[in-house]
Amino acid sequence: MIIRGLTKTYNGRCVVELPSMELNDGRIYAIVGTNGSGKSTMVKLLAGIEKPDTGRKPLDLNIGYMPQQSYAFRMNVLKNIMLNGDDAERAMVLSEKMGLTALLGKSAKTLSGGELARMALCRLLMKDYDVLFLDEPTAAMDIEATAKSEALIKDYQEKTGCTVFIVSHSLQQAKRMSDEVIFLSEGRLAERCPTNRLDAPETDEFRRFLEFYGS
């Protein structure tokens, strides 16, 4: 997958400025950086949710996107999940893996934040995509739900062969999930490295980030 250099400006301030780069298909990329570094804007641009000022998102790809803020429609949990696909068996399997079976008949509007995020992930994974963009998908989840979600995402990626971008505030999650880490700083690509090379960052900026946030 080739990304043509992307820029995005809000109120006269450039919040994302990415160079053109080639990414390998079928890998999991973790996007990390401090708050306000442009992580969410980057995935919105790549997913086509927002329009860049310059550059363009990858073309001719079937893209799935999960925003930070999960949402529910005024129907039960099962119907919410099946809004993205009518395969009832697949919906039941996903629900069971995410511990939602007992909640399927419940109004989705009554779910807790963590339950809502689990439902939203199941709904997204009802379809097969070329690329998945996940913006802090487990931020509202507890440890058990996070572990289930990570296992489900990795299993989905292995079965579909899709490319996954996961924005995460957790370096430990990035290490567990990804093949490569993309580090953003003030909207720019500061460093890319294989996840197994996080102990040897090339830039002082990334080294300070890893030391502070506990690599």
Average pLDDT, the chain: 93
Q: Is residue 121 part of a domain?
A: no
Calculate mean pLDDT across residues 93-109. Answer: 97
CATH number, domain with residue 197:
3.40.50.300
Per-residue confidence (pLDDT) for residue 13, from 0 to 100: 87
More confident: 4 or 67: 67
Which 8-state DSSP code applies to residue 58? P
Q: Is residue 86 part of a domain?
A: no
Q: Is residue 162 part of a domain?
A: yes
Q: Is residue 48 part of a domain?
A: yes
Question: 22 is in which domain, residue-wise?
Answer: 2-69+128-213
| Phi and psi at residue 199, to the nearest 5° | -80, 0
Q: Is residue 58 part of a domain?
A: yes
Per-residue confidence (pLDDT) for residue 12, from 0 to 100: 83
* pLDDT level of residue 25 (50, 70, 90 thresholds): very high
Per-residue confidence (pLDDT) for residue 3, from 0 to 100: 81
As for how many domains the chain has, the answer is 1
Calculate mean pLDDT across residues 83-110. Answer: 97
Q: Is the pLDDT of residue 55 over 80?
A: no
Dist. CA 95–CA 79, nearest whole Å:
12
Q: Is the pLDDT of residue 58 over 90?
A: no
Q: Is residue 91 part of a domain?
A: no
119: left (phi over 0), alpha (psi -120 to 50) or beta: alpha
Return the H-helix or E-strand segment holding 76: none
- This prediction has a pTM of 0.93
Give the rounded distance of the alpha carbon of 157 from its chain centre: 12
The amino acid occupying position 124 is: L
Per-residue confidence (pLDDT) for residue 215, from 0 to 100: 52
Dist. CA 209–CA 215, nearest whole Å:
9
- CA quadruple 8, 17, 186, 23: dihedral positive or negative? positive
* pLDDT level of residue 4 (50, 70, 90 thresholds): confident
3: left (phi over 0), alpha (psi -120 to 50) or beta: beta
Dist. CA 91–CA 200, nearest whole Å:
42
Dist. CA 64–CA 74, nearest whole Å:
22
Please write the tens of the pLDDT for every residue from 130-162.
999 999 999 999 999 999 999 999 999 999 999
Calculate mean pLDDT across residues 110-133. Answer: 97
- Which of 104, 114, 175 lies closest to 139, judged by CA? 114
Q: Is residue 30 part of a domain?
A: yes
Calculate mean pLDDT across residues 12-28. Answer: 90
Calculate mean pLDDT across residues 189-206. Answer: 93
Per-residue confidence (pLDDT) for residue 213, from 0 to 100: 83
Q: Is residue 87 part of a domain?
A: no
Dist. CA 125–CA 94, nearest whole Å:
8
Highest mean pLDDT among 45-49, 53-57, 122-126, 183-187: 122-126
Q: Is the pLDDT of residue 57 over 80?
A: no
Return the H-helix or E-strand segment holding 21: strand 21-22
- Alpha-carbon torsion, ordered 151, 43, 20, 30, to 10 deg: -30
Dist. CA 130–CA 29, nearest whole Å:
14
Per-residue confidence (pLDDT) for residue 6, from 0 to 100: 86
Per-residue confidence (pLDDT) for residue 11, from 0 to 100: 86
